[in-house]
Structure 1
Amino acid sequence: MKMRLFLSGLAAVCIGLIAVQNFAFAGEKSPVILTISVPQAQDGDPHQITLSEQDLRALPAMTYQTTTIWTSGEQRFTGVPLLVLIEHFGIEAKDLELKAVNDYAITLPVAELTEDAPIIAYERNGKPMKLRDNGPLWVLYNYDANPDYRTETIYSRSIWQLDRMTAVR
């Protein structure tokens, strides 16, 4: 009888520990890979939007099958169209300043964004991109689909290792 009571108590404790452990893991948030600064009213501090890979994957995605001047052969990139991202968060801006981990920065006029270009790619050939492989985020165009995307201006806007964005009004 004592053994049965002991085993029942032990089972209850084990089930409780498993439940607590699963709850803790479910509540954990993935690391932030993109921070967007959005200006507030006239002199207000910017509002920060922080996004994890999971957050980006929750938004509508698009896939390009294209070649690039930085990779060998055709590649498959999946990501969120930049226009979809800024519309999702209600970001109003004239320009977007995008910065990479190494502080490389570009300015992208919002008026030049389209529904399908550029994308903020988070996946290359079906796998998340690592920092050493130009990830985790890379701004890309479907270079093979449109000759307008094969210019020095567009190539210079194809920023890899993107980690910061600022809306400029």
Structure 2
Amino acid sequence: MTGTARFLSFLCSLSVAVLVFSGPSGAAELAKPKGEVLLTLSGNVSNQNAGDKAEFDFDMLHALGVTKIETATAWTQGTKTFEGILLKTLVDAVGAEGSTAEVIALNDYKVDIPMKDFTDYPVILAYQMDGERLKIREKGPLWVVYPEDDNPKLKNKQTQAKWVWQVKEIHFK
């Protein structure tokens, strides 16, 4: 993805986020999910909709804007096209603060990702690969994806360890 395309994708995501999360007074309001909850955001989040947490269904994630990344992975054959939400956009939408995002998978596997990664690179939380929604057996429903092909310095074991799949929760600390 070119720099211009990334910038336009960011502007689109930001515009949608403002429309989705701004109430009449301009204060951030996070709607409650109407469908199955795919993702819970916890910890240092200021915009919540489920007690002290923020929950998202697919439509809520999709409404924040779609970002595409084309990259090869260590777990798939050839280059794949991933679609999802920029993690930076998600952080902004819930007012998350801190230095670390603890990403938790369905099997309770946990990885700490520096939140700086989300501003340094267009890291996405993918829900689609090659036009198909990710299923649990295909590393879904949500998968942290780094743009390795666009950033060769990300092709290393440290970055690969951050490619958490079957994501259910992100805890900000």
Q: Does 1:136 align with 2:146?
A: no
Tell me by how many angstroms 1:149 deviates.
1.4
Q: How many pairs align?
A: 137
CA distance in 1, matches of 2:34, 2:157: 38
Which residue matches 2:52? 47
Identify unmatched segments of 5+ residues in structure 2: 1-32
Q: Please, what TM-score do these two structures have when normalized by structure 1?
A: 0.76
Aligned pairs for 1:90-101 (under 5 A) are 90-101=95-106
Q: Does 1:82 align with 2:77?
A: no
Q: CA, structure 1 residues 115+57, in 2 after alignment: closer, same or farther (shift >3 Å)?
A: farther
Amino acid at match of 1:59: L
Q: CA, structure 1 residues 39+90, in 2 after alignment: closer, same or farther (shift >3 Å)?
A: closer
CA distance in 2, matches of 1:115, 1:84: 13
Amino acid at match of 2:119: T
Q: Please, what TM-score do these two structures have when normalized by structure 2?
A: 0.74
Q: CA RMSD in A?
A: 1.8
The counterpart of 1:148, out of the listed 149, 153, 157, is 153
CA distance in 2, matches of 1:116, 1:129: 22
Amino acid at match of 1:54: D
- State the structure with more CA Rg: 1
DSSP 3-state at the match of 1:114: helix
The counterpart of 1:107, out of the listed 107, 112, 132, is 112
Q: Does 1:63 align with 2:68?
A: yes
4+ residue segments displaced more than 6 Å = none
* Seq. identity, %: 31
Tell me by how many angstroms 1:115 deviates.
6.4
Which residue matches 1:36? 41
CA distance in 2, matches of 1:116, 1:60: 17
